[in-house]
Amino acid sequence: MNRLSTDTRIGVIGSGGFTRFSVEAFLKVSGTKISGVFDINPQNSKSFSDKFGCKVFSSEEKLLEDTETDLIYIATPPFLHFLQSKQALLSGKHVICEKPAALKAEEVKELISIAHEKKLLYAVNLMQRYNPLFSNVKRVIEEKFLGEFLHGYFENYASDENLDEKHWMWDESKSGGIFIEHAVHFFDLFEGWFGKGDVIASQKIMKEGVEHNIWPEVQAICNYGNRLVNFYHGFHQADRMDRQEIKLVFETGEIILFEWVPSRLLLKGLVTNENMKAIADLFPEGELEIVKSFIGKDKEYRSHFVDRQADQKIVLEVGNNDLKSTIYQQLLTDMMLDQIQWIKNNNHERRINQYNGLHSLKMAEKAERLAIKL
């Protein structure tokens, strides 16, 4: 970073739909400024610059040469991410790139090594791990408040209302397909909870009756230390019916998270008084209901081949679906703040570092490679 500036001056490459939303969130980090924008579509650059009051650059090269830019934020379609990240790093700029990191994991390894050599920031915007619900669920898993994790699923019934047949998302040479373009968020989330996973089977379904080959539905079964998780993504819903559920089933209960940026959590389970208190403390804003209390012999039960005891059956609810947009903005702000703290002090441990983009892409690549085409 230029020593004269304590601000972080962000140059933007690609000012389409998502950038308008993300940049608003980035600007909430004190000391961030937008120094300039380059978009291949001059109208997009202009309307972005009108909104955020920054310079318009006539080429990517000119933006990368700008001495008043410290960090490049890339939000173009995925097939451009590798070369644009590489050029930006080689020009001495820090890089935050939208997901996916690239179309191939091998390319990401190269980016990581350039960033390392040049002591520059390199991160992919996989912001899900900044969600407080992510951290609290991680505590439930690690402290075994509901026993061992047994099985999980993610069901993503997503909107395709604004994705017409010609959208770059359906051209797999541009997007990499749904596993690479979208599922990386959730491969990263589950790795954060359960450690490294492996894809053991996958499928994708082609939409019939359209001009181009379009694959709007994909599914993968993944193994996390002999625990299976099913991921389904289908882009076929109306905007108003866009909905997601993550379900984590444990030996003595379950957690359901709603929305793709999890905004509401439902926890159900059989617990001891001690674990009930621990759960209540973890979610102080949650509404905890004791569905049933057990006394004497009634406390005894058996699950997953083990004799156990419970004092209560509980249901806990936290958050609501309407918070999605507010939480989404907060995750983006927190991601940017975390990355900037690393730029200022390389000893700062980031929640998302250069490896998240690589690991999530490796999983997505394997899911794509194994996919049986239906």
User: Helix or strand or coil: residue 353?
Assistant: coil
Minimal distance, residue 335 CB to ligand NAD, in Å: 9
User: Helix or strand or coil: residue 183?
Assistant: helix
Residue type, 226: N
Minimal distance, residue 132 CB to ligand NAD, in Å: 17
As beta bridge partners, residue 124 has 97
User: Helix or strand or coil: residue 163?
Assistant: coil
Give the range of 15-23, 114-122, 240-248, 319-327 binding ligand NAD by CB under 6 A: 15-23
Do residues 190 and 222 lie in contact, with contact meaning Cβ atoms separated by under 8 Å? Answer: yes
Out of 41, 309, 321, 326, the only residue in the binding site for ligand NAD (CB under 6 A) is: 41
Q: Output phi, psi for 227, to 5 deg.
A: -120, 130
Residue type, 185: H
Residue with tokens 């097939």: 79
Give the range of 3-11, 36-44, 194-202, 365-373 binding ligand NAD by CB under 6 A: 36-44
**How many CA atoms, within 13 angstroms, populate the side-chain half-sphere of residue 99?**
28
The contact mask relative to ligand NAD for 248-287 (x = CB under 6 A, - = no) is: ----------------------------------------
CB-nearer residue toward ligand NAD: 80 or 352: 80
- In the region spanning residues 296 to 325, those forming contacts with ligand NAD, defined by CB under 6 A, are none
Minimal distance, residue 317 CB to ligand NAD, in Å: 25
- Quote the DSSP letter at residue 204: E
Give the range of 71-79, 189-197, 210-218, 292-300 binding ligand NAD by CB under 6 A: 71-79
Minimal distance, residue 75 CB to ligand NAD, in Å: 4
Q: How far is CA 272 from CA 127, 149, 284, 301, in A?
A: 34, 17, 18, 12
- In the region spanning residues 165 to 194, those forming contacts with ligand NAD, defined by CB under 6 A, are 181
Kindly report the CA angle at 79 between 74 and 83, in degrees rounded to 5? Answer: 60
User: Does the footprint of ligand NAD cover residue 75 (CB under 6 A)?
Assistant: yes
Minimal distance, residue 36 CB to ligand NAD, in Å: 12
User: How are strands ordered across the β-sheet holding 8-13?
Assistant: 55-56, 32-38, 8-13, 71-74, 94-97, 122-124
CB-nearer residue toward ligand NAD: 147 or 176: 176
- In the region spanning residues 47 to 66, those forming contacts with ligand NAD, defined by CB under 6 A, are 60
User: Helix or strand or coil: residue 238?
Assistant: coil
Tell me the number of residues near ligand NAD by CB under 6 A: 23
Task: Compute, in degrees rounded to 10, the torsion defined by CA atoms 71, 66, 39, 174.
Answer: -60
CB-nearer residue toward ligand NAD: 125 or 244: 125
CB-nearer residue toward ligand NAD: 275 or 354: 354
Cβ contacts of 355 within 8 Å, gap of 6 or more: 112
The contact mask relative to ligand NAD for 94-123 (x = CB under 6 A, - = no) is: ----xx------------------------
Residues of the shown chain interacting with ligand NAD in the complex, contacts defined by CB under 6 A: 13-19, 38-41, 44, 60, 75-78, 80, 98-99, 125, 127, 181
